[in-house]
Every structure is written in C-alpha cells, then in structure tokens.
Structure 1
Amino acid sequence: MVIATMVETTEAEAAPGLHLLPAKEAFTLPHAEKSTGRIQLIEHAKGSKVDFGALVYGIDLNNFTDADFEFISDALHKHKLLVFKEQPGMLRPQQQYRLTSSFDPDEKTGGFAHGKDPFLVHHNGLDIYGIPKRPAIPEQPQVHILGRGPLGDDHYGFPPGFEIQGVDHHEFHLPPHISEEDREAGASRFYQWHFDGSLYNIPPPRVGCLLAVQTPKGPNVTVQWDDGTGTQMSIPPGSTAMVAGSRALALLDDTTRKIVMHSRIEYAPHAFVWMSTAHSTRLGHLIETEGLEVPLDKLPAWSDDKVCIYPMVWTNPKTGEKSLQVHGQGAFKLYLKDSPDGPETIVTDLKEVRAFMHKLMRPALEPENIYAHHHHEKDVILWYNRALWHSITEFPKSYGSRVMHQCNVAASDHPQ
C-alpha cells in the first residue's frame, strides 16, 4: 500500500515546484439535431423544503453531443443539480473535463480552480501532481481524486494500493471532536460549507462535477450540528450535502435581505492558507475567532489587486434567479450598504464579520433545507457552483472506500 507523505498546504498555489497545465485545447462536440436526454425531478422527503435537483436519463456522458450539452446546460441552470443515471461505463477523465469546461468556452487556460498543483509522487515514468487528499489524474490533471481509502490496481497510472487520505474534522474543527467509537457507530459532521473556488486571484468555477467510482456501504449516518441546538440529520454514508443560495436568501429577514442585495465580501488573501492554522466551527460554516489565522505578513506573497471582493448575491445568467452565495470561513472584511447609492459601512473586526456571516448562513443550515445526495457508483453529479453551497460528510471507516473523480475549472470571469 502506497500512502503519499507530502505535507498538505491547503492551497496548491502556495507550494514550490509547481507544474503548469497545458493551455486549454479547442474541441468540437459531435453534432446531433436533438438530445436524447430526459429529465425527472428528484423527489425529496416529506417535509423537505428543498426545491432543486433533477435526474437525467438517456445521455451517455462518454459520448455526449452538442445537442446534449445544450440540453444539459439549460437543465442545470434551471434545476441547479443534475444526477446522470444509467451510465453504461465510468466517465472517462477526458470527457469529465470536456463536460465541465464546456460551460465556459471563454476560459482559455484550462486551469484547476485552486491553481497549480505541487509535485506529489513519481511512478512508472509518470509524474503525479496534487496533494495527498486531492491527487490529480496524470492524463487529465484538471480531474482530481477525492475521498478516502486505497485505489484499485491500475487506476489511471497510480501505484497499486495508492491510498487517498480523506479529510477529517479532527484536523480542522473546534474541539471537542466526535470520538472514534461514536464515529464508527455512525456519528458524522458536515466538514465545510462552501462553494468551490480559491477565493484569491482565480475566478470560482461555474460548475462542479463528481463521478462516483467507489462508495461506502453501510447504514445511514447521523450528522450532528454540535452547536448547542441538538440538531441532527440522518443521511446516507458518504453523501454530498447541498443547500440552495436562493433558499438562504429567502430565509433572511427583510432588513438583512435588503443589505445583502447591495453588499460585498472581501476574502482573505490565500484564504485557505490563512485559515489552515485556525479552527472551523463544528457546523463547518465559519472559522472560530481565536486569533489563530496565519498573519498576513506570513502568507505567501500576495497583492491587493488579486484579492477577491465579491457581491453577496449572485445572479443566474439564464433564469435571473438570485442566490446568497457566500463562503463564511474565508470572509475577511465586509462592505455593507442597504441601497445602491447609500452609505457604505466597512466591517474589519473578524468577530463582527463572522457574527454577520452566521446571521446569513445559519437559517439555511437546517435539515429541511439540506439535500444529502446519495452517490451510486458510475453516477455523475453536476451542480451549478454559483447557486449552491455544499459540504462533504464523514462516515465510518468500516464502510469501505469513497473514491470520487472531481473536476472544476477556473472560470473566465469573477462574479459581479
């Protein structure tokens, strides 16, 4: 069994010895007059307030056409999450990248959403890049492997038995942590509520894509909020949890909603390095204010012109729907105003910044608003990254491996 031993940096851009991805190659999708796709809305549990998600049948993603892509794009912007069922074979990394990058034809670099990957390991004449918890597939380095557990033999050139090191709330969340005994009995947490993106310099992807290669097998786990409310939720093991930013916006009181419609968030430079020495809240939506963040003058070199300042509310370009799209853990400074031409209040105290972010995020983080997607092997999920928040969830090691292929590509534009 091979376990990579390189120390994780939490943002690849900070590491030395970086490789460059080749520029994005132009490609033309096979032509068809009409898509073969069919849509079926996801049936959510009784009492659920989740209003997004659809199943897609009839499209083989290893052979999708230009008509299929138009069908997929329209469906994704409408439903925000698509689950592709009945795939005849595992989605090839090249096709996963082709699908994901087709949403942004103006993006020319073909770069991974978190920047360049550091060198990880050399095997059989192949250089493998990435970090132990997110190695890149050599033949298509925009596609990364996530999860926990050993890969099968001959997995796209990886050494036999190469083991993916899963994320663990023990390494990131504020103590006390869930005990090993309770975790094996099915106690779980949301690891980090976020949209995909580096939050510094690189525009966040328009879409995210996950292929389920291996999935854990066992009874449901119980996600614990561990925030003093006693809230918990039963979900399938290894689920990806999702919340709609539109729902989060609708749940705000009128005064707060008026503010977020005209306000912006400044994210910390090299946000994931900045937060890497701090503790997350146990719910995974904020950083605890303990003064443990990496000081700005100790971060990798950064400049003001690359700091990301995003609106709190993002607009779906096809439907016009508004979504509260925020990353609570990376928030560094707030620019608040309640009208387009009104006075602006700048909030720089991190405790106040996080109190406001909690006010925005916590109402949506209730079981009735959360969809926990149960991955099935060979299924592919595609989500609109500029309208949904998501989080991985933990599961007992005895349930087996979770191996996912993820692709998200830096966008050609920042949210406006």
Structure 2
Amino acid sequence: MSSNIRVEPLVFPESSGIDFGASVSNVDIEHLTDADFAAIREALFTHQVLVFKNQSHVTPKAQYELTHRFDPAAASKYGHGDTATGNKRSILHPDLRTIPHQPQVQVIGHGRVDEYEGLRDLRLKHPHHRTFHATAVPDHEDHDFTRFYRWHIDAALYGADLAPPVVTTLLAVKVPGGGRRQTCRYEDGSGDELDVPLGTTAFVNGEAMYDSLSEADKEFARTTKVEYAPHPYVWMSSARSRSDGLGLVSEGRELGIEDLPSPPDPKAVQILPMCWRNPVTGRLALQVHPSAVLALHLGDGTVIDDLERVRETVHRLQRPGIAPRRVYAHDWREGDLVLFHNRGVLHSVVGAFAEDEVRLFRQCNIAASHFPVGPRQQLGDQKVAAATAV
C-alpha cells in the first residue's frame, strides 16, 4: 500500500547554512495508515525536523500514538522520568503540567489558562534565561532582546530504563498574535546574534555539527563517551548557564551527593556515545546534552573528570554548530505540529513573553526501549554499560 503524503524540504535563504527540516502535508494524523507512518518515519530520519500545519484538531491521544509509533517496544514512561519532573528542586519541575487522561503528554507555555484538557486554572510560565544564566539581558531591553535558554536533548540521562526518547512532538495550541520578534544574543564575545520570532523553538542539526569538525575532532568524538551526572536536573539546579545556553559555567554550584534525591546508583548512571547513528541514513550526529555532562571516557581508557575541562571540551566541539546561520528558529503558528528526531538534533527554548501574552503547547516524548547506537556499535548492542557512582 502506498501513501499520498507529500514531503517538501523547508526553503531557506542562500546565505543560510541550515541543511535540515521539511514540511509534511496531505496526512491525517488521527487515522494514520501503516503506509503513511512509513513515509513519515523515512522523512523524519532524512530531514530531522518535520512540520505539519493546521493540526489543531489532533487529540492528545493521537499525538501520543504518533510519538509512540516510532518505538512500539517502549513503555509509556515520560522521557525525563518522574524524579526530573516531580522533584521540586529539579529545573524541569516548574515548566510542565501533565494531561490527566493522557499522562505521556505535557502542557507547557506562558500565561493563565482557565481550563484545558481536564487541567484547571493553569498558570504557565515560559522559561526565562534570567532564572538559569550566570548573566542576563538588562530588564529594560527584555522586550526586544533574548537568549537561547538551554540547548539540550530531551532525556532523563539517569536510569537504566530511561533511554533518550527517539522523537519529540510539539503542538502549538495557542500562540500570541502580533508577530513580535526579538534579537537573540549570544553574548559570548563573538558578536553573534539572530533575529527570531517571539517564543521560537530553535533547532540545530547534530549531523551537521559532527560533519563540520576537523578530522582529529571527528576521531575524538567517535571514540569518546559522555558520562552524565546522577539526577542531572536536580544536580544542576543551583548551577548557572553560559550566555549562549550551551552548557554551564563552572562555579562549583552543583549539588553534592548528599543533596540529591537518592544516592547515585551505578546501574542508573548513563555513559552514552558522543555520536549517535541515524537508523535510516547511517549518518553520525554529535549528540551531547552540554549542561548535564560530568566526565568524558576516551577511547584509550582515560577518564577526564575535571568538570571545567569537560565542559570546555564539549563547548568547543558544539559551539560552531549553533552559529546563527545554522539555527532553524521555527515561527510558530496555531495548529503547527512539529515532530523532531531527538537523537539527531539539539533544541532550545527562546524568548521573553509579556505577562499578558498567552502561549499554550502540548509536548510528548517517551523513554525509549533501547539506548542510542554509537559509531562502533552493532544494532544488537545498544545498551551502554553503567558507570560507577560519582
């Protein structure tokens, strides 16, 4: 059976370095056939980010089913896990509200919403960089200027049964009107900045990030594994970010073992390849969550555990990949459903909303049934060995 789905690559100016993204049309997400899904799957792993327009009618159930279909063996666990979202010290705790009748789907956004999908009197708050960065845009410039909040992968990064989700879906239910735009500043000495729509989600291609490395750095990335901190979103709760949102400043503010929700479990600590392989194209993506890194395990057995050095190394490798010409800043419209390959792109929240600007989105991702495949792994060897306790 064939599909009538139409896939068209997104079009960018000639000066752009964006080499990913596609729009998908002529599809009924509420009633996907096997042929439809096969076409969507092929398109997703080819283009990394897919945009479906005019999908306001899609139910939370259909959104979950589309997300789950990419990994049918996965249990229905939210990708970040219970501790990351339920612990009040977690940096993720304030940003999410769970839909009661579809607990895999979260509500995010900004402003007050009286009722939505069984949730009442929602008071949503869009993450603002001043709550997480070591420095901030001055208050008097906050209307016109902003920053990348935090470049990341959707993943718990701790837990033997919480492998990074394969995909994430985002649906724009309500978007502020007016077409307001902001200038996103890097403020890292480069002078880089980017004109962005208000409240954009910014994406960069991990495959292009890898391809742009020198041959020596490619070899380093292919042979290095990243050890992530236990309970990373609680561990980093007092730490502060770089101004470009790409990792943390080393100030010794991370929580000690005694302040974590539970003692680190060696079986739960995740050590993942620095590069993850695309299951369709075979391309490698440089996929590292820069804020959660704790140590680097090199190919010769050396372990780098000097946190400042670890962060500087990761930042040096990733920073060219978030250059303005490589960032796809999606201009959200109500009804947009964006499906992205969580194991192939990094993304960031961006923007600063006024109190009366209301934004309502649905997000869904599911902890995967298997860990990412690295450069030297076979498909049957996807579970990475756990680290020793920190």
Q: TM over 0.5: same fold?
A: yes
| Cα separation, 2, equivalents of 1:310 and 1:300 | 22
Do the aligned partners of 1:205 and 1:385 also contact (CA within 8 Å) in 2?
A: yes
Do the aligned partners of 2:278 and 2:284 also contact (CA within 8 Å) in 1?
A: yes
Letter in 1 for 2:127: V
Written as runs of structure 1 = structure 2, the 5 A alignment for 1:142-291 is 142-151=104-113, 153-159=114-120, 161-175=121-135, 177-184=136-143, 186-201=144-159, 202-217=162-177, 218-291=179-252
Deviations 1:124-183 (A, max 9, x none): xxxxxx9442000111011001121122x4311122x421122121111002x1123211
Shift of 1:373: 0.8
119 and 197 in structure 1: CA distance in 2 versus 1, 3 angstrom threshold: closer
Do the aligned partners of 1:261 and 1:313 also contact (CA within 8 Å) in 2?
A: yes
What is residue 81 of structure 2 aligned with on the other side?
115
What is residue 71 of structure 1 aligned with on the other side?
39
What is residue 339 of structure 2 aligned with on the other side?
382
Deviations 1:254-291 (A, max 9, x none): 21111111110000001111111111111111111000
SS in 1 for 2:208: helix
Do the aligned partners of 2:171 and 2:336 also contact (CA within 8 Å) in 1?
A: yes
| Cα separation, 2, equivalents of 1:366 and 1:132 | 29
SS in 2 for 1:246: helix
Equivalent of 2:270, from 302, 308, 311?
308
| Cα separation, 1, equivalents of 2:87 and 2:348 | 27
Shift of 1:66: 1.9
Letter in 2 for 1:353: V
What is residue 29 of structure 1 aligned with on the other side?
none
Letter in 2 for 1:155: Y
Written as runs of structure 1 = structure 2, the 5 A alignment for 1:118-129 is 118=86
101 and 220 in structure 1: CA distance in 2 versus 1, 3 angstrom threshold: same
59 and 272 in structure 1: CA distance in 2 versus 1, 3 angstrom threshold: same
Do the aligned partners of 1:200 and 1:270 also contact (CA within 8 Å) in 2?
A: yes
Do the aligned partners of 2:227 and 2:271 also contact (CA within 8 Å) in 1?
A: yes
Shift of 1:398: 6.2
What is residue 48 of structure 1 aligned with on the other side?
16
Letter in 2 for 1:114: H
What is residue 384 of structure 2 aligned with on the other side?
none
Do the aligned partners of 1:260 and 1:336 also contact (CA within 8 Å) in 2?
A: no
85 and 296 in structure 1: CA distance in 2 versus 1, 3 angstrom threshold: same
Shift of 1:119: 9.9
What is residue 381 of structure 2 aligned with on the other side?
none
| Cα separation, 1, equivalents of 2:115 and 2:32 | 26
Query: Cα RMSD over matched residues?
Result: 1.7
Runs of at least 5 residues in structure 1 that lack an aligned partner in the other structure: 1-32, 121-129, 338-342
Runs of at least 5 residues in structure 2 that lack an aligned partner in the other structure: 374-390
SS in 2 for 1:304: coil
Do the aligned partners of 1:90 and 1:213 also contact (CA within 8 Å) in 2?
A: no
SS in 1 for 2:217: helix
Do the aligned partners of 2:111 and 2:124 also contact (CA within 8 Å) in 1?
A: yes
Do the aligned partners of 1:57 and 1:86 also contact (CA within 8 Å) in 2?
A: no
| Cα separation, 2, equivalents of 1:41 and 1:399 | 35
Larger mean CA deviation between 270-279 and 111-120 belongs to: 111-120
Do the aligned partners of 2:110 and 2:125 also contact (CA within 8 Å) in 1?
A: yes
Do the aligned partners of 2:27 and 2:36 also contact (CA within 8 Å) in 1?
A: yes
Do the aligned partners of 2:172 and 2:336 also contact (CA within 8 Å) in 1?
A: yes
Q: Which runs of 4+ in 1 moved over 4 A?
A: none
SS in 2 for 1:162: strand
Deviations 1:44-71 (A, max 9, x none): 1231111111000111212222221111
User: Please, what TM-score do these two structures have when normalized by structure 1?
Assistant: 0.84
Do the aligned partners of 2:54 and 2:334 also contact (CA within 8 Å) in 1?
A: no
Do the aligned partners of 1:194 and 1:389 also contact (CA within 8 Å) in 2?
A: yes
What is residue 100 of structure 2 aligned with on the other side?
138
Shift of 1:210: 0.2
Equivalent of 2:291, from 329, 353, 363?
329
Do the aligned partners of 2:166 and 2:341 also contact (CA within 8 Å) in 1?
A: yes
Equivalent of 2:58, from 84, 87, 91?
91
Do the aligned partners of 1:216 and 1:238 also contact (CA within 8 Å) in 2?
A: no
